[in-house]
Amino acid sequence: MNDAAPLSADHHRHRARAGVGFGLAAYGLWGILPVYFKMVADVSPFDIVAHRVVWSMVLLGLGITLFGRWAVVRAAIADRRSIRLLAVTATLIAGNWLLYVHAINSGHILAGSLGYYLNPLANILLGRFLLSERLTRLQWLAVALAGAGVAVLAAGALETLWISLTLCFSFAFYGFFRKGIAVDSVTGLTIETMMLFPLATAWLALGLADGRAALGDDAATFGLLASAGVLSTAPLLLFTEAARRLRYSTVGMLQFIAPTLQFLLAVFIYGEPLRQAHIAAFAAIWIALALYIASSVHAARRVPLPE
């Protein structure tokens, strides 16, 4: 009888450690994705996204078949509300991917990282105004500071602000709509990819017919493009395992790893210019995120561990 509690605590600690490991791997991979996109920078962003869809469909199809989950996929497709919402999320994520690849390969990794730093704060606003969730004073202060950072950027680096805001809100609305769909993440991603697959294959086929190097100029480039499926699905599966094992607030804190790595790559590896407007904006948003994390930690401490 006396051993039950320690065993239960050990079990939760082991799950949490595993969850942190999965989360670090997922966000670490997302954070270094700019390196991959730079390696295929000579390929059109439309072609890169098309390959991402096609090869993701291959891997997801194999996975769904291997684990016998086609019945779950068919049930989700039969739900009219779910399929309408998944059509919206497929459009949002495709647009997000396309703009992100364009941002990286046009030398705007900083703008991309800023967009994903802003994402959790955008989620707070969507929760407040679309889901009527209450905000703490720290969360309101975080939003205000982030708004000030965006205003500074608008004054000093307006030409890339649209990239940051579009990436931020397209992904925020993607998460908002996915939250309302009663399907798991892998099933949802499979259906989204199925929706995009005909467009992606048609685009690549038209490129080949027009003489465009839609499959890459050489075998090495084709191999890199084909690896887009693994690079797309692996972080998502790792993230799913992390989310199952961790509090949502902990997952929320881990998500800042990816834009931090992108920021470091932009400045120290790819030599993107760091203007005063960038410094002021990032400083405001980092302080805002610190407040957001403090609020999340405070809220998490008030929620007991599951038994």
CB 139 within 8 A of CB 292: yes
Residue 46's nearest CA partner among 107, 112, 109, 105 is: 105
Which contiguous run of DSSP H or E holds residue 197? helix 185-209
Helices 228-245, 185-209: crossing angle, 10 deg rounding:
170
Q: How many Å apart are CA 72 and CA 172, to the nearest integer?
A: 26
For residue 28, what pLDDT is reported? 93
| Helices (H), ranges, 1-108 | 4-31, 33-39, 45-66, 70-78, 80-105
Phi, psi of 2 (to 5 degrees): -70, -20
pLDDT tens, residue by residue, 258-294: 999 999 999 999 999 988 888 998 999 899 888 887 8
Q: How many Å apart are CA 124 and CA 130, to the nearest integer?
A: 10
Neighbouring residues of 67: CB distance < 8 A, sequence distance ≥ 6? none
Q: How many Å apart are CA 24 and CA 224, to the nearest integer?
A: 24
CB 233 within 8 A of CB 7: no
For residue 244, what pLDDT is reported? 74
Q: What is the pTM of this model?
A: 0.85
Helices 45-66, 70-78: crossing angle, 10 deg rounding:
120
CB 249 within 8 A of CB 296: yes
Q: What residue ranges of the chain have pLDDT lower than 70? A: 1-9, 247-249, 252, 299-307
CB 110 within 8 A of CB 277: no
191 HSE (CA, 13 A, CB side): 28
Helices 70-78, 185-209: crossing angle, 10 deg rounding:
90
For residue 224, what pLDDT is reported? 93
For residue 211, what pLDDT is reported? 78
CB 300 within 8 A of CB 252: no
Q: 305 by DSSP, 3-state: which?
A: coil
pLDDT tens, residue by residue, 84-123: 999 999 999 999 999 999 999 999 999 999 998 888 888 8
For residue 248, what pLDDT is reported? 61
For residue 96, what pLDDT is reported? 94
Q: 183 by DSSP, 3-state: which?
A: coil
What is the token pair recorded at 83? Answer: 């399929």
Distance of CA 216 to the CA centre of its chain: 26
